[in-house]
Structure formats: structure tokens, C-alpha cells
């Protein structure tokens, strides 16, 4: 054999090896669409394009029911809580003297000042320039009662004569319902259907746990995190990232039966991971959970993701609910609450909090890892960084590491946006 | 007795500052050596005006804290350094019980390493949290040790949080 043909043979063998083993890709290869159905991958512009973000606020966040706080944060008549939804729309939630919870845009109809400034309080306390029981805008002293009526305009007649009167100047009220474990839900769309139509039967598998006895918040934490809101929600919708969490590997993934855990997608983009049992004491320094919620087995774990950005995660003794407010393509306000039962004794409450803090809270083992990842993901897929397509193609018979949770999210996203996630420049009806 | 109070105060100061130095240097076992194995209780707490409640974000005994340290290598952490700057403001001493209480104001900075986009941000320092240490310190046998530390935070937005105690 000539030395030339030997070299050619070696080259051919090398090529063969490469095609089997793969190799790093050049730009053209890296930019190619994955060889997958359009439902199984997405274009990273869905995270980075400001026009898409604006459209998401308009077509999704301004239209769907959003949980914003918990009834136990407003337990007494005239308690109030300020919040916000869908970008930067400020909201104030008030429990009336009639015990009904209402919510309003927290914007004064006079000159646009924010009406209630404090995160929470009771209207009985009054304010430096207004009467007790009312919400007073500090700027010119307009006052609104707990039902949103404008009840005081200083020197009303002198300035407006008969051209404008307080009867016309009430606050903008929002559709409000209290449900699913006592959460206060609002919808910016006055013409929306009832909350029950939106959540459908998604909560059925957790209803006994959430709605048998009243819940009470014991943990509240928030952070503005530098990531796209969908990336944060997606960490709750896929469990393949058990590899990120040592705690989940030790207490869940390496335990018998874990991979049988079922994933269910519901209408309107909601998705649930069914009951599984966690071996908490497999993590050094932790112990099995001695408390639980009504109907939930000891050490059980169920999780429900509500489109477009809320997660209920119930790990036997404590419930974690995460909500978010998108701020821009790469910024999101994340609010996380922990719950026990209102009837807890102080000892029971302490035990629930201890369990909660092992993995959750800013110093828990899992939450920090999740937040660390999503902000770094967002760096990698910045416009121009070259990260182009992400895959969500795992199919494992709708069990725990199947990426059906991601696909069902983008199915709903496409329906509401009228765009394809795999090619957002194309209309989904094209 | 004036002299013994003075000595106690001196020991309390040294212990608290040493606890900051060991944590800053991530010498976890040296920190644990400053704690009373039998009774040590560590917690991070704050008052939330949002839910109008006191809340606890971490509570561990000596063993619990040790297992956190032992398991750090298995976890994916933001390994940015936390630097605690402390000033002891008030020391109370009970000579009968040989126990002191100390109030220390603490400011914690974070110097980025690999938390986010290290090419841009590693080496940059920002304020992470402010709050106070409320310590109970035993002074038996001439050696000060931490029996209890409550880290009471004023800061309630701690970004992505941390796997390290404060
Ligand atoms: S802006 Fe509110 S009273 Fe004038
Ligand atoms: Fe996670």
C-alpha cells in the first residue's frame, strides 16, 4: 500500500469515527434548526426580543388570572396589601368592612400618584393627610373608601364647581376572586371569564390539601432576578434538572419509584407533576417530615404549574407558592411564599418552617441553585450571543423527566401569541 | 468585679471578630470551633412588613450547620465571596452565669466570582445585606464560645440568596 492511500484510509476511518462520535460544530452547523418537530424546540428570541415581550404583556399577562397575594396577609377588615402585575401595573388589595376582598389599580385618578405606598397595613390607622378607614392619596388629599369609591376631594366645589364630582372619580376596580388555598387572584381584563374557567380541573388533585382548612403564610421572599420570566417558570416545569440539585438526586431520583411519577398537562397551559414520595432523610442532616397537609401522605410531594408564571409546590409539611411579575425581557420580580395551616400550634409551625428552609428560602439548598441557573441561562442566550435554539424534546411516556411540561407551556403560549415558539417571526396560523 | 467584666468584654469582642474572619475565609471548621457543640443554635431572621410577620429563613444547630458545610462540595453554589464587616456595639455580661449577650451591627458585601457572567462581573463587589448579630456567648473556663447567634437582617431582598451562612 502506498503511503498516500494509507493516509486516505486513515482519514476515512477518522471521518467515520467523527460521524459516530460527533464533534464540535462550526457556525453554519450551530445555527441549523434541530431535526425535530417544531413543538420540540424553540428559538431563543422568545426570551430576548423586546417586541415579543411587549406582546406577551398585552396578549397574555393583561388577559389571564394572576394570583397576587394570600388572604392571610389581609386577615382583618380594612387590611390592605399593595402589589403589582403584568409589568409595572401597581395594585392595592383591600379587605372591606364587609370582609370582602377587592382590588384596585393603585393609581390616583387625579394626577396619577400612587395611592397606597406601604407594602401592607390597616386603613384604620389613617394617614398624615387623610381620615382613618380611607385610602388617601398624599399628593392633594383625595380619599377613597375600601370599596374604591372616591369619598373626598378637598375643596371640590370651589375648584370643579359642577363640572366634576367625586361620584365620577372612583378607583379602577379589577376582577378579583379568592380561591385555591385562599389566594387572591386578579384579572386586568374586565371581560374575562370566571377564574374557575381558567384553572379548569388543574387544581383537582390538590384541592383537599389546599381547601380543607385555611392556610396561613409564614414566609415571604422576593428578588428582582436578571432573567426572562419564562426561564424561571420553566425550572418549575421540567424535572430533568434533578441533576442540578444534589438534594433531589439523593432524596428523590435515586429512590425507587421516582421515575414512575406522572406528568399531566391541562387546558390553558397548566401542568402538574403527580404525587411521589420523597426520602428526606437520605440527605445528611435532614429528617423525614412529621407533618403534612390534609389528604397528603407524609413525605409526599405534588406540584402544579399555573400558566403563565405561578407554581404551587407542596412538599408534605409546607406549601411553596411562587408568583412573578415580568419587568423586561431580562428582568423579573419573583415573589415566593411559604404556607402552613392556620390551625398550627407554635411547635407545628416551627417544624414546618424548618422543613421549608432546608431547600427553600434564600438560604435553602435548592432555590439558590435554581436562581443561579436561570440568571446564567439568560446571559448565554442574550441577543447576539449566538445561542439560537433550545430543545425540549425528551419523551418518556409523560413521566417525570419527560419535557411535556415545557411543550405544553409553549403550546398555550403559541395559541395566545399567534406565533410559533420555534420560529416566532412566523404566525402560528400560517 | 470591674476587671473581670473588662476581660469578658474583651473576649466577646475577639470571639465575634474571629467568627467574621473565619466565615470570610470560608474556614467553616474554624468557625464551628468557636461554637458550643452542645447548645449552639444559629438562625437568620427578619421582620417582613409585607406579610407583617417575623420570619425565619434558616435555623440550624451545631450538627445541622456542620452537615451544611460538609455537603457544600456536592452542591452547585454561587461561590462569590461574602465579606462580613462587623462592629460590636453593646455587650452585657452576667458574671453569675458567666454568659454575655452582644449586639453587633454587620454589613455583608459580595465579591462576584461565578454567580453570573464571570467575564463581566468577577471581582466586582456590591452590598449583599445589612443587619445585626445577636449573640449569646459562654465564658466558661476562660474561653469564650458562641452558644447562640441570631442574624437579624434588615435587608429582605438578598438577590439569589446563598448556600453560606451569614
Ligand atoms: S394625585 Fe392624587 S390627589 Fe392629586
Ligand atoms: Fe429546581
Tell me the DSSP string of B46-68: EEETTTTEEEEEEEEEHHHHHHH
User: Is it the case that residue A219 has pLDDT exceeding 90?
Assistant: yes
CATH number at residue A360: 3.90.380.10
Judge if A253 and A373 occupy the same domain: yes
**Torsion sign across C-alpha atoms B112, B114, B118, B120:** negative
Question: Got the DSSP string for A146-200?
Answer: TTS-EEE-TTHHHHHTTT--GGG----EEEEEEETTTEEEEES-TT---HHHHHT
Q: Chain B residues with CB inside 8 Å of A222's CB?
A: 50, 156-157
Q: How confident is the model at residue A235 (pLDDT cuts 50, 70, 90)?
A: very high
Give the pLDDT score at B148: 98
Give how far A68 is from chain B: nearest CA, Å.
Answer: 12
How many whole angstroms separate alpha carbon A28 and alpha carbon A38?
A: 20
Give the residue ranges of DSSP H helices in chain B: 2-24, 28-33, 62-71, 118-121
Q: Which of A159, A177, A195 is the last residue before a domain boundary?
A: A177
pLDDT in tens, A410-428: 999 999 999 999 999 988 7
Tell whether A331 is within 8 A of chain B (Cβ): no
- State the average pLDDT over residues B126-153: 95
Residue A34 covered by a domain: no
Could you tell me which of A299, A306, A283 has the C-alpha nearest to residue A366?
A283
Residue A194 covered by a domain: no
B67: nearest CB among A121, A284, A354: A284
For the CA atoms of A360, A361, A362, A366, what is the dihedral angle to 10 degrees?
A: 0
Give the pLDDT score at A174: 97
- State the average pLDDT over residues A12-34: 76
- Ligand 1 centre from A64 Cα, in Å? 30
Give how far A251 is from chain B: nearest CA, Å.
Answer: 14
Region of poorest pLDDT, from A154-168, A289-303, A376-390: A376-390
How many whole angstroms separate alpha carbon A34 and alpha carbon A31?
A: 9
pLDDT in tens, A129-179: 889 999 999 999 999 999 999 999 999 999 999 999 999 999 999 999 999
Give the pLDDT score at A403: 95
- Ligand 2 centre from A360 Cα, in Å? 10
**Eight-class DSSP state of B116:** S
The residue range of the domain holding A82 is 66-177
For a pocket test of ligand 1, which of A90, A104, A108 has the largest count of ligand atoms closer than 8 A to its C-beta?
A108
For the CA atoms of B24, B28, B33, B38, what is the dihedral angle to 10 degrees?
A: 120
- Ligand 2 centre from A394 Cα, in Å? 17
For a pocket test of ligand 1, which of A130, A137, A151, A152 has the largest count of ligand atoms closer than 8 A to its C-beta?
A137
Judge if A277 and A421 occupy the same domain: yes
Judge if A104 and A158 occupy the same domain: yes
Q: Which three-class secondary structure state does DSSP give residue A357? A: helix
Give the pLDDT score at A334: 96
Q: Ligand 1, residue A111: give the atom nearest the CA.
A: 1
Report the largest interatomic distance among the alpha carbons of chain A, rounded to a whole angstrom.
109
Beta-bridge partners for A179? A183
Give the pLDDT score at B2: 44
Phi first, then psi, for residue B46 (nearest 5°) are -160, 170
- In terms of C-beta density within 10 A (0-12 exposed, 13-18 middle, 19 or more buried), how is residue A80 classed? buried
pLDDT in tens, B53-64: 999 999 999 999
Residue A18 covered by a domain: no
Give the pLDDT score at A288: 80
Q: How confident is the model at residue A17 (pLDDT cuts 50, 70, 90)?
A: low
Which domains, from first to last, does chain B contain?
A: 2-153 (3.10.450.50)
User: Is it the case that residue A338 has pLDDT exceeding 80?
Assistant: yes
Judge if A103 and A220 occupy the same domain: no
pLDDT over 90 for what percent of chain A? 78
Give the pLDDT score at A1: 44
Q: Which of A177, A212, A246 is the last residue before a domain boundary?
A: A177
User: Is it the case that residue A379 has pLDDT exceeding 50?
Assistant: yes
Phi first, then psi, for residue A82 (nearest 5°) are -95, 150
- Nearest residue by C-alpha to atom 1 in ligand 1: A111
- State the average pLDDT over residues B98-107: 97
- Give, in order, the Cα–Cα distances in Å from A280 to each of A239, A301, A302, A358, A396: 17, 11, 15, 10, 25
Q: How confident is the model at residue A278 (pLDDT cuts 50, 70, 90)?
A: confident
Phi first, then psi, for residue A202 (nearest 5°) are -60, -35
Judge if A162 and A231 occupy the same domain: no
Residue A170 covered by a domain: yes
pLDDT in tens, B3-38: 588 999 999 999 999 999 999 999 999 999 999 999
Polymer length in residues for chain A: 430
Q: Establish, for the pair of chains A and B, how many residue pairs have beta carbons separated by less than 8 Å.
A: 108
The B-side interface with A (CB below 8 A) comprises 44, 48-53, 55-59, 63-64, 66-68, 70-71, 74-78, 115-117, 156-163, 165
How many whole angstroms separate alpha carbon A105 and alpha carbon A125?
A: 21
Q: How confident is the model at residue A8 (pLDDT cuts 50, 70, 90)?
A: low
Residue A11 covered by a domain: no
Judge if A233 and A335 occupy the same domain: yes
Judge if A222 and A153 occupy the same domain: no
Tell whether A84 is within 8 A of chain B (Cβ): no
Judge if A217 and A366 occupy the same domain: yes
Residue A43 covered by a domain: no
Residue A291 covered by a domain: yes
Q: How confident is the model at residue A284 (pLDDT cuts 50, 70, 90)?
A: confident
Judge if A78 and A160 occupy the same domain: yes
Tell whether A120 is within 8 A of chain B (Cβ): yes
Stated pTM of the model: 0.94
**Eight-class DSSP state of A114:** B
Residue A39 covered by a domain: no
pLDDT in tens, A113-123: 999 999 999 99
For a pocket test of ligand 1, which of A104, A139, A171 has the largest count of ligand atoms closer than 8 A to its C-beta?
A139
What is the number of structural domains in chain A?
Answer: 2
Give the pLDDT score at A13: 55
Judge if A211 and A111 occupy the same domain: no
pLDDT in tens, A305-325: 999 999 999 999 999 999 999
pLDDT over 70 for what percent of chain B? 98
Judge if A289 and A401 occupy the same domain: yes
Residues contacting residue B82 through CB under 8 Å, at least 6 positions apart: B23, B24, B108, B109, B110, B128, B162, B164, B166
How many whole angstroms separate alpha carbon A181 and alpha carbon A339?
A: 10
Give the pLDDT score at A396: 94
Mean pLDDT across chain A: 92
How many whole angstroms separate alpha carbon B148 and alpha carbon B61?
A: 9
Task: Determine contact, residues A311/A305, Cβ cutoff 8 Å.
Answer: yes
Judge if A172 and A261 occupy the same domain: no
Amino acid at each position: 500500500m502506498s503511503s498516500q492511500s494509507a493516509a486516505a484510509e486513515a482519514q476515512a476511518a477518522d471521518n467515520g469515527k467523527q460521524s459516530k462520535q460527533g464533534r464540535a460544530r462550526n457556525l453554519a452547523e450551530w445555527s441549523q434548526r434541530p431535526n425535530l418537530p417544531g413543538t420540540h424546540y424553540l428559538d431563543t428570541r422568545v426570551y430576548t426580543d423586546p417586541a415579543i415581550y411587549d406582546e406577551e404583556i398585552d396578549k397574555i399577562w393583561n388577559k389571564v388570572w394572576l394570583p397576587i397575594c394570600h388572604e392571610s396577609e389581609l386577615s382583618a377588615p380594612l387590611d390592605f396589601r399593595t402589589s403589582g402585575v403584568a409589568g409595572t401595573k401597581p395594585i392595592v388589595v383591600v379587605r372591606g368592612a364587609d370582609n370582602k376582598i377587592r382590588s384596585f389599580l393603585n393609581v390616583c385618578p387625579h394626577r396619577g400618584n400612587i395611592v397606597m405606598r406601604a407594602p401592607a397595613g390597616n386603613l384604620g390607622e389613617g394617614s398624615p393627610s387623610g381620615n382613618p378607614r380611607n385610602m388617601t392619596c398624599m399628593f392633594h388629599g383625595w380619599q377613597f373608601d375600601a370599596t374604591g369609591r372616591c369619598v373626598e376631594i378637598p375643596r371640590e366645589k370651589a375648584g370643579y364647581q359642577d363640572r366634576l364630582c367625586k361620584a365620577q372619580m372612583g378607583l379602577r376596580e379589577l376582577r378579583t376572586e379568592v380561591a385555591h388555598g385562599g389566594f387572591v387572584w386578579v384579572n386586568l381584563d374586565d371581560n374575562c371569564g370566571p377564574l374557575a374557567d381558567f384553572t379548569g380541573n388543574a387544581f383537582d388533585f390538590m384541592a383537599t390539601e389546599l381547601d380543607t382548612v385555611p392556610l396561613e403564610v409564614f414566609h415571604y421572599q422576593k428578588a428582582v432576578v436578571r432573567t426572562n420570566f419564562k426561564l424561571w417558570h420553566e425550572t418549575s416545569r421540567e424535572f430533568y434538572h434533578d441533576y442540578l440539585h444534589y438534594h433531589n438526586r439523593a432524596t428523590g431520583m435515586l429512590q425507587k419509584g421516582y421515575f414512575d411519577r406522572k406528568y399531566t398537562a391541562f387546558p390553558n397551559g397548566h401542568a402538574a407533576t403527580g404525587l411521589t414520595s420523597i426520602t428526606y432523610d437520605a440527605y445528611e442532616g435532614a429528617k423525614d417530615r412529621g407533618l403534612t397537609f390534609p389528604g397528603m401522605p407524609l413525605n409526599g410531594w405534588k406540584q402544579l404549574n399555573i400558566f403563565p408564571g405561578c407554581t404551587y409546590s407542596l412538599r408534605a409539611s409546607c406549601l411553596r407558592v411562587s408568583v412573578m411579575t415580568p419587568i423586561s425581557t431580562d428582568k423579573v420580580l419573583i415573589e415566593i411564599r411559604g404556607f402552613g395551616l392556620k390551625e398550627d400550634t407554635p411547635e407545628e409551625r416551627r417544624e414546618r418552617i424548618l422543613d421549608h428552609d432546608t431547600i427553600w428560602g434564600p438560604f435553602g439548598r435548592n432555590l439558590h441553585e435554581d436562581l443561579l441557573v436561570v440568571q446564567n441561562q439568560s446571559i448565554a442566550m442574550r441577543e447576539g450571543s449566538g445561542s439560537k435554539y433550545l430543545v425540549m424534546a425528551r419523551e418518556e411516556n409523560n413521566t417525570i423527566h419527560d419535557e411535556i411540561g415545557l411543550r405544553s407551556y409553549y403550546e398555550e403560549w403559541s395559541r395566545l401569541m399567534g406565533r410559533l415558539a420555534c420560529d416566532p417571526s412566523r404566525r402560528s396560523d400560517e | 468585679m470591674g476587671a473581670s467584666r473588662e476581660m469578658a468584654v474583651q473576649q466577646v469582642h475577639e470571639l465575634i471578630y474571629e467568627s467574621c474572619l473565619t466565615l470570610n475565609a470560608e474556614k467553616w471548621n474554624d468557625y464551628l470551633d468557636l461554637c458550643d457543640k452542645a447548645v449552639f443554635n444559629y438562625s437568620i431572621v427578619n421582620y417582613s412588613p409585607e406579610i407583617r410577620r417575623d420570619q425565619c429563613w434558616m435555623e440550624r444547630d451545631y450538627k445541622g450547620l456542620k452537615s451544611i458545610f460538609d455537603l457544600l462540595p456536592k452542591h452547585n453554589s454561587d461561590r462569590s465571596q461574602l465579606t462580613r464587616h462587623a462592629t460590636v456595639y453593646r455587650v452585657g455580661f452576667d458574671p453569675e452565669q458567666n454568659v454575655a449577650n452582644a449586639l453587633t451591627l454587620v454589613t455583608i458585601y459580595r465579591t462576584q466570582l461565578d454567580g453570573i457572567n464571570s467575564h463581566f462581573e468577577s471581582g466586582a463587589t456590591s452590598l449583599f445585606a445589612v443587619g445585626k448579630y445577636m449573640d449569646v456567648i459562654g465564658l466558661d473556663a476562660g474561653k469564650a464560645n458562641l452558644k447562640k447567634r441570631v442574624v437579624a437582617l434588615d435587608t429582605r431582598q438578598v438577590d439569589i440568596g446563598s448556600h453560606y451562612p451569614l
